[in-house]
């Protein structure tokens, strides 16, 4: 059955721009909601093993909630995802100073007005990948401190068998650094109304033997460490709670949960099998594949009494994020293989979330 797409008005942003909302339905029980504010994955609904369809993604009912919230709920993140130490990097021999976003003096997720706080124009398209939604945003030269006018397209496709594919393509008028990802939060058991939603009993397998540790400011130190013998070793399927029960010292130094980037491989355009998450309770499973070199695994330790759509409440450890991206703080670490995007060069990265239900 062909995927159907419906568009509707989602309201007007604080700066007077119309925001569109698109619903993608594959006709097989998987329905995705996409919001033009932040080119956001707003809703993911699909069936458990008993056929019950639940919301498994963190999102809001209205535009005002997206504008007010600071946890990057499902948004497209950029220009550079994760943290940039001291809110600066050197490019072509010159120091580029970025928007400072925290008291420690660093820059996170592209700055206070990064892509997750911008209105993208949206349109329904059809390509050889199928029918999809393309969101476009033009980031002005100097926005957030980043050089070059950057034109970014974020295109989402939903397949008949539950694959949500999104492609990031961009071009800049000047040399710059770019690192785009999505910051969706998931719980495969569905979001409960009483605030008890938790991912401790989910099982995860993450196909990497190396992490890039963070300091107490959640900035990548530049180290690369093996996961052997630690709670970060997720190469065999394991309960998420097993690592949370006895947190590693690196977890304690940041926020008490998983918040770390794993190295998947080279940034060579090839799809890599990044991670697999499964809930024995619901039978729902999710696989992540990507062309990106790294994958950030985050068990949200920072949400407190957060109200989502339908008045449902979530707290600490209610969900997980798997953010495929470039190396955190890559422009400032000489031995990381992060390269500038040169003027006129095309940036292209692909991420797939594959939603299935198992016995």
For 33, 253, 256, the CA distances from 247, given in Å and listed in that order, are: 35, 10, 7
Within its chain, how far is the Cα of 240 from the centroid? Answer: 19
Q: Catalytic: 55? A: no
Which helix (H) or strand (E) element contains residue 91? strand 88-91
pLDDT interval class at 1 (50, 70, 90): low
Q: What are phi and psi of 254, to 5 degrees?
A: -100, -80
Lowest mean pLDDT among 24-33, 173-182, 212-221, 267-276: 212-221
Give yes or no: 69 in active site. no
Report DSSP state, residue 334: T
Q: What is the mean pLDDT of residues 147-173?
A: 97
What whole-number distance in Å separates Cα of residue 188 and Cα of residue 49?
A: 11
Number of alpha helices (DSSP H) and beta strands (DSSP E) in the chain = 3, 27
Active-site pick, 143, 167, 203, 323: 323
252: helix, strand or coil: helix
pLDDT of the residue at 303: 81
- The dihedral region occupied by 200, where left means phi > 0, alpha psi between -120 and 50, and beta the remainder, is alpha
Q: What is the pTM of this model?
A: 0.96
Q: Which domain holds residue 319?
A: 4-357
CATH number of the domain within which 166 lies: 2.70.98.10
ω before 79 within 30° of 0 (cis)?
yes
Asked if 257 and 144 count as a contact pair (C-beta separation under 8 A), the reply is no
Which of 183, 202, 203, 352 is flagged as catalytic? 183
Rounded (10°) CA dihedral 14, 109, 262, 341: 110
Mean pLDDT of the chain: 95
As for how many domains the chain has, the answer is 1
Tell me the pLDDT tens digit for each residue of 168-216. Answer: 999 999 999 999 999 999 999 999 888 888 999 999 999 999 999 999 8
Report the SS3 class of residue 152: strand
Q: Taking residues 303-328, what's their average pLDDT?
A: 92
């Amino acid at each position: 059955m062909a995927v159907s797409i419906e568009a509707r008005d989602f309201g007007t942003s604080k700066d007077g721009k119309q925001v569109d909302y698109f619903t993608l339905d594959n006709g097989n029980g998987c329905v995705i909601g996409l919001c033009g504010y932040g080119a956001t994955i707003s809703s993911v609904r699909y069936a458990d093993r008993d056929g019950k369809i639940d919301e498994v993604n963190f999102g809001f009912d209205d535009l005002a909630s997206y504008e007010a919230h600071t946890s990057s709920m499902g948004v497209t993140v950029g220009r550079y995802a994760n943290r940039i130490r001291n809110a600066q990097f050197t490019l072509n021999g010159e120091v580029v100073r970025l928007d400072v976003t925290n008291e420690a003096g660093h820059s996170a997720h592209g700055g206070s007005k990064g892509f997750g706080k911008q209105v993208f124009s949206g349109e329904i398209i059809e390509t050889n990948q199928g029918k999809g939604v393309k969101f476009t945003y033009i980031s002005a030269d100097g926005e957030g401190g980043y050089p070059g006018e950057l034109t970014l397209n974020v295109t989402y496709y939903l397949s008949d068998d539950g694959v949500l594919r999104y492609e990031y393509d961009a071009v800049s008028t000047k040399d710059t650094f770019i690192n785009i990802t999505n910051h969706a939060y998931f719980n495969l058991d569905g979001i409960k109304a009483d605030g008890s939603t938790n991912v401790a009993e989910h099982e995860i397998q993450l196909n990497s033997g190396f992490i890039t540790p963070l300091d107490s400011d959640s900035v990548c130190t530049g180290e690369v460490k093996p996961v052997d013998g630690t709670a970060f070793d997720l190469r065999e399927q394991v309960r998420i709670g097993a690592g949370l029960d006895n947190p590693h010292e690196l977890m304690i130094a940041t926020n008490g949960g998983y918040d770390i980037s794993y190295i998947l491989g080279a940034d060579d355009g090839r799809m890599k099998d990044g991670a697999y998450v499964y809930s024995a309770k619901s039978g729902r499973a999710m696989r992540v594949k990507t062309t990106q070199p790294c994958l950030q695994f985050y068990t949200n330790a920072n949400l407190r009494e957060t109200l989502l759509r339908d008045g449902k409440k979530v707290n600490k450890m209610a969900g997980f994020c798997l953010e495929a991206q470039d190396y955190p703080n890559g422009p400032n670490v000489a031995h990381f293989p992060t390269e500038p995007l040169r003027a006129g060069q095309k940036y292209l990265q692909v991420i797939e979330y594959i939603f299935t239900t198992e016995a």
